[in-house]
Amino acid sequence: MILCAAIILVAWFSTSWIGPQSGREAFLIGMLWVVLTVAFELLAGHYAFGNSWEKLIADYNLFRGRIWLLVFVATLLAPLWAFWQKHAA
């Protein structure tokens, strides 16, 4: 949850600096972040740190109490939310 808050905070401060021109671009930024994060976590986790695929996938199981998916939801939506907030203000 702390990480989610940190992501939202970083997105809030950085979205205007990144400079998306539309909500679609802001959403694409969030999607880019999620894709890069998943790719990094799975590839580095398996090949660099030697974790098994099962262990890596288990972190995504919401029904087992793993809330790692929330980080991705926050990462995906934070730039869009920040963009809307800045343009609504």
Residues making contact with another protein (CB under 8 A): 2-3, 6-7, 10-11, 14, 17-20, 25, 29, 32-33, 36-37, 40, 48, 71, 75
H-run or E-run covering 43: helix 23-43
For the bound state, the minimum distance from the C-beta of residue 89 to another protein, rounded and expressed in Å, comes to 20
| Nearer to another protein (CB atom), residue 6 or residue 69 | 6
| Nearer to another protein (CB atom), residue 33 or residue 77 | 33
Asked if 20 and 77 touch (Cβ cutoff 8 Å), the reply is: no
19: left (phi over 0), alpha (psi -120 to 50) or beta: left
Distance CA(37)–CA(2), nearest Å, equals: 17
| Nearer to another protein (CB atom), residue 34 or residue 84 | 34
